[in-house]
Amino acid sequence: MLKIEGWLKEEVKGKWILFSIIACLFLDFALNCFVILILNIFDITISAQNESGIPILTPSFPIMLICTAYFEELIFRAPLALLVLLTAERWKLRVIFIVAVALSILFGLVHGGIPNIFLQGIGGLLWSILFLKCGGYQKKFIKPLAVTTITHFLFNGILALICLSQGVHQL
């Protein structure tokens, strides 16, 4: 745990923020592909958060994507920021890790159910780590929230483009 805490104490800055965003997106998509493959092998259905579908090809869609990403990040990363501020140094890393995992599970459940824990929940955990590494662990809030919101927006935007390329016009 001591090595992880030392790693977290070093805040990502400059060009390494972009690298961290790209690495997080790549890892999230790779893990999602793997999880989808496993879920398909076991014939487990993944339910969507919104059964009616949100039209992708509308002028308001990008605005909706960024707003949704921002509010989800605010809801699911603010507790981490609060924990960093309030938790005693001795217990900080353990408590933050447990809460990050719990928030990630909840993030997956909110997106559709138990199978979604392994899809969106994984992303939620990666973005929690990104939040902490980009300044959240250093008791900052605006920069790490901006970084995770941008990452979340890009992830959803790439997903929308993939859907469009497959002929799906609603998310």
Separation between Cα atoms, residue 57 and residue 59, nearest integer Å:
7
pLDDT band at residue 2 under the 50/70/90 scheme: low
Has residue 171 been placed in a domain?
no
pLDDT at 52: 59
Separation between Cα atoms, residue 144 and residue 75, nearest integer Å:
13
Has residue 170 been placed in a domain?
no
Has residue 17 been placed in a domain?
yes
Average pLDDT over residues 29-41: 94
CB 83 within 8 A of CB 8: no
The number of helices, as runs of H, and strands, as runs of E, in the chain is 7, 0
pLDDT band at residue 73 under the 50/70/90 scheme: very high
pLDDT at 44: 87
Average pLDDT over residues 12-29: 96
Has residue 112 been placed in a domain?
yes
pLDDT band at residue 48 under the 50/70/90 scheme: low
pTM for the model stands at 0.92
CB 31 within 8 A of CB 23: no
Has residue 73 been placed in a domain?
yes
pLDDT in tens, 77-119: 999 999 999 988 888 888 999 999 999 999 999 988 898 999 9
51 pLDDT exceeds 60?
no
Domain count, the chain: 1
% of residues, the chain, pLDDT over 70? 94
Has residue 32 been placed in a domain?
yes
Has residue 145 been placed in a domain?
yes
pLDDT in tens, 108-167: 999 888 989 999 999 999 999 999 999 999 999 999 999 999 999 999 999 999 988 988
Domain residue limits at 150: 2-44+60-165
Separation between Cα atoms, residue 36 and residue 45, nearest integer Å:
10
pLDDT at 50: 54
Has residue 55 been placed in a domain?
no
